[in-house]
Amino acid sequence: MSGERLLDIKSLSVQFGGLNALNDLDFHVDKGEIVSVIGPNGAGKTTFFNMISGMVRPTSGDIVYRGESLLGLDPNQVTARGIARTFQNVRLFANMTILENVMVAQHCRTKVGVFGSLLNTPSFRREEEEIREYGKKVLGFFGSRLVGYRLEQTASVLSYANRRRLEIARAMATKPEILLLDEPVAGMNPKETEELTGLIGKLRSEWGFTIVMIEHDMKVVRDVSDRVVVLDHGETIAQGSYDKVSSDAGVIEAYLGRPIEGNAS
């Protein structure tokens, strides 16, 4: 937890009409951390991700990444600077092949343009080969599920769990520094969840990613996170280690509601 400060979010607020989706939120991520963001439905977790990745503009506050403000940048510029995300409601390029899905994600890391492609220059061919190889390497992270004959299949034939894996692979392919994972294990069965939990650890230890994760599965949160941030109604109500947060009275109340008088145990 003692790495350099990567992402620093200062008093971030966003309002949709009269609704305060996020209210004066402070947040930071250090290099090499795995931070989980939890909170009940509607707490503003996905809005928080949308704001970091540039898809929603904050009403006030600042997002500073490596000393540079991300405010006003387009999503593709944020990704180019090294922050990649996945989507809660899996949004793959369903009619592109699995390999193409991870190849296209390397767009901002490559540069051959129209003329290079037309003339089939050596640098075009070299780059194309590199894109392909790196794509296969990223897919190989998930074992044999996404490689082999699968490479040329369209993403639409994948099972739900594999779609989630491909989403993560696609985000990895953009060569980010910070990975934003939006509910990576949602809809997976216990065995798959356990496996992916292990992989999230490897994303840090083997690939060197810093990870911010939204998750509802408390077992996953407990197993991988260095730090847990709890949001409710757009505000941070607690943060710290899992053990500290899970015994926090405010957090329990946010999830379960206030105990009825006289019935509390």
Residues that bind other proteins (CB under 8 A): 53-55, 74-76, 79-80, 84-85, 87, 91, 93-96, 100, 103-105, 107-110, 112-114, 117-118, 120, 124, 127-128, 131, 145, 153-154, 156-163, 170-171, 174, 187-189, 191-192
Cβ at position 139, least distance to other proteins in Å? 14
| 8 A C-beta contact, residue 216 and residue 227 | no
Phi–psi pair at 5, nearest 5 degrees = -75, 120
Q: Minimum Å distance from CB 14 to other proteins?
A: 17
Compare residues 182 and 215 and give the one whose CB is closer to other proteins: 182
C-alpha R_g of the chain: 20
- Shortest CB 19 distance to other proteins, Å: 21
Rounded Cα distance, 236 and 259, in Å: 21
Looking at the Cβ atoms of 40 and 75, the one nearer to other proteins is 75
> Between residues 191 and 258, which has the closer beta carbon with respect to other proteins?
191
Residue 81 CB, nearest distance to other proteins (Å)?
Answer: 10
In terms of CB distance, is 98 or 230 closer to other proteins? 98
Residue spans of alpha helices (H) in the chain? 45-52, 75-81, 98-104, 114-119, 122-140, 160-173, 190-205, 218-224, 242-246, 249-256
SS3 218: helix
